[in-house]
Homo-oligomer: A and B are copies of this chain.
Amino acid sequence: MSSNGVRKVSLAVIKRLPKYHKCLGELLQNNVERISSQELGRLLGFTASQVRQDLNNFGEFGQQGYGYNVEQLYNEIAKILGLNVEHKVVIIGAGKLGQALAGYRDFEKHGFKILAMFDVDPKLVGSKVRDIPVYDVKDLIYYVNENEIDIAIIAVPRESAQEIADALSKTLIKGIWNFAPVEVDAGPDILVENVHLLDSLLTLSYRMNESKLMERLEKEN
């Protein structure tokens, strides 16, 4: 066990891993075989020491004087992110947002295969989105267990989100990716990643407002 303590990988490190993964994938496509922590840091906007620290959390990747083997590091990070296995995914909610997510090619490219969608609307049930069948939401629990689904994407209105999470809590699903603008809870065994779209818009709005705000604060203080 490294002195960094592998059990305590911080959320900040985890959030940076997809960026490493993406950057290394691009390097690989450009046939780059190895890269130094300096250069990798430069591409990502991190310092070299940040890069070394981040990657040290997961064992010894780099070699002094050589740097990182791009392909090896890429594959290792993919494994860390759980991308070496295919994930079976369903989307609950076949409205505009569900359809938009179903059409997002990057998910499948990273091993997230969307097998089915679910909705309450009789006009949508029985239809297909791309090649993905839309089933009645009352068959959700049965389908998820029968097909060993890993991940459920919640793309229903706020009012129905917790109800869907409650249904999912009765399945063997491992993760929920929640797009409804409300936090949902599915018990201790299911991980939930809430997507806070409004927070991201408010962050933009704050940054747009910042210079005015700082002038005001300076005057007041």
* B17 in contact with A206 (CB, 8 Å): yes
- For the complex, is A31 an interface residue (Cβ under 8 Å from B)? no
> Do A200 and B218 contact each other (CB < 8 Å), given the known contacts A82-B205, A205-B81?
no
Chain B residue with the shortest CB-CB distance to A82: B209
Chain B residue with the shortest CB-CB distance to A80: B213
Question: How many angstroms from the CA of A89 to the CA of B96 in the assembled complex?
Answer: 20
State how many angstroms separate the Cβ of A214 from the closest Cβ of chain B: 6
- For the complex, is A2 an interface residue (Cβ under 8 Å from B)? yes
A97 surroundings in chain B (CB, below 8 A): 96-97, 100
Q: List CB contacts (< 8 Å) of A4-47 with chain B.
A: 6-7, 9, 14-15, 17-19, 21
Interface size, A (range): 35 or more
> Do A221 and B2 contact each other (CB < 8 Å), given the known contacts A81-B206, A204-B191?
yes
A175 surroundings in chain B (CB, below 8 A): 204-205, 207-208
* A1 in contact with B82 (CB, 8 Å): no
Q: List CB contacts (< 8 Å) of A171-206 with chain B.
A: 174-175, 177, 181, 191, 193, 195-206
Q: Is the interface of A mostly helix, strand, loop or mixed?
A: helix
- For the complex, is A110 an interface residue (Cβ under 8 Å from B)? yes
- For the complex, is A58 an interface residue (Cβ under 8 Å from B)? yes
Beyond A82-B209, A95-B100: 18 further Cβ-contacts under 8 Å? A6-B217, A7-B214, A9-B210, A17-B202, A17-B203, A18-B199, A18-B203, A21-B202, A80-B206, A80-B209, A81-B205, A83-B205, A96-B96, A106-B181, A112-B201, A151-B208, A174-B208, A193-B203
Closest 8 CB pairs of A and B: A82-B209, A96-B100, A97-B100, A193-B204, A18-B199, A1-B221, A18-B202, A82-B205
